[in-house]
Structure 1
Amino acid sequence: MIAREQRRPDVVRRRRNFVIARRFVEPDRLVFLDESGAKTNMTRRYGRAPVGERCNFYTVHGHWKTTTMVSAIRRTGVIAPATLLLDGPMNAATFLGYVERCLSPALRPGEIVVMDNLGSHKAAGVEKSIERAGAS
């Protein structure tokens, strides 16, 4: 299934421009940022058991814990100072703090930070903090 928005003329034009522009970007300038989360209530819904036996397992019920990990990587590997393990979910204020204290100091002038369009990534101050480090 493909999102219908991908066929809009403005999206098609932006994608075409991106494909053209990326030909001129040196791979060593790229820094990719992503986050991932896990909850203690993430359990399997299906399992296996011997024929004729029921598959039983126990899981957390009620209160659960969320853990978030955010990190940045360049062609040469993970940017160690730019990795954060957070006890809880990521929000705009936390992400801005991560960018200011962890990511920006590890960036080199001229690097290009690539991230998805998660709402917290669009927080006020994120782009400026990256630009102050000489990156974009």
Structure 2
Amino acid sequence: MKKTTHAAEQQRPDVKAARQRWRKAQPALDSARLVFIDETGLNTKMARRYGRCPRSRRCLARIPHGHWQSSTFIAALRAEKITAPFLIEGAVNAEVFTAYLEKVLCPELRPGDIVILDNLSTHKVAGGSALITACGASVRYLPPHSPDLNPIEMAFAKLKAHLRHAGARTLGDLQNAVVSALASFQPQHCQGFFRHAQYASI
């Protein structure tokens, strides 16, 4: 039986109390206003985890061993779509995240939106909240160690499954694969991610 794992820190009294408060408030949140932000790492050595081969033969796949390129994908998840996608070579720092908020996310926000992020220090960059509130939106932070409360994590899992199948070996091919993967997301997928994380359906 496959195990389902959670951060052990969720059992800390302070984290447990914060999670309980968040869960209690979830039914009152208007899903049509929620905008979940996060990032995930991608690279040019992604490959399918399973394959087919003749019985008694080992299933082999070739992936880069010593030379590959890494990138970071940032996006926002609404209840009906993925929006504000952004792919950058390497990791995200405060400067990059600020640029993402200003140039990519904020033009997509609507007055009354609630932007929800985790507690990553980069997400609390100085001036970040001001950029969001200037659009008429508000900001909330998830409880610590609670990726299960962010439905975009399931969207990223679907994205990565597509990318493993694509097997891109250059950043250009990876970018094209991301575009193709995003086109496969339908409103019912996004609504399912919200329901799985126990946010009210729309």
Scaled by the length of structure 1, the TM-score of the pair is 0.77
Partner of 1:99: 101
Secondary structure (helix, strand or coil) at the match of 2:28 reads: coil
Displacement of 1:36 in angstroms is 2.3
Secondary structure (helix, strand or coil) at the match of 1:99 reads: helix
What value does the CA root-mean-square deviation take over the aligned residues?
A: 2.5
Partner of 1:124: 126
Alignment CA distance shift 1:50-1:100 (3 Å): same
Runs (4+) off by over 6 Å: 44-48
One-letter amino acid matched to 2:29: V
Which residue, 107, 110, 115 being the options, matches 1:108? Answer: 110
Asked if 1:72 corresponds to 2:41, the answer is: no
Displacement of 1:99 in angstroms is 0.6
One-letter amino acid matched to 1:135: A
Alignment CA distance shift 1:5-1:100 (3 Å): same
Q: Distance in 2 between matches of 1:75 and 1:44?
A: 28
One-letter amino acid matched to 1:69: F
Which residue, 39, 43, 51 being the options, matches 2:43? Answer: 39
- Whichever of the two has the greater Rg, that structure is 1
Partner of 1:13: 17
Asked which structure has the greater RCO (Cα within 8 Å, sep 6+), the reply is 2
Q: Distance in 2 between matches of 1:129 and 1:22?
A: 25
Displacement of 1:127 in angstroms is 1.8
Partner of 1:58: 62
One-letter amino acid matched to 2:20: R
Displacement of 1:21 in angstroms is 1.7
Aligned-residue sequence identity (percent) comes to: 45
The answer to which of 106-115 and 48-57 deviates more is: 48-57
Alignment CA distance shift 1:70-1:2 (3 Å): closer
Q: Distance in 2 between matches of 1:84 and 1:11?
A: 31
Secondary structure (helix, strand or coil) at the match of 1:130 reads: helix
Count of residue correspondences: 134
Alignment CA distance shift 1:62-1:128 (3 Å): same
Which residue, 3, 7, 18 being the options, matches 2:7? Answer: 3
Displacement of 1:54 in angstroms is 5.7
The answer to which of 57-66 and 9-18 deviates more is: 57-66
Alignment CA distance shift 1:128-1:52 (3 Å): same
Q: Distance in 1 between matches of 2:13 and 2:113?
A: 30
User: Structure 1: which 5+ runs fail to align?
Assistant: none
Scaled by the length of structure 2, the TM-score of the pair is 0.56
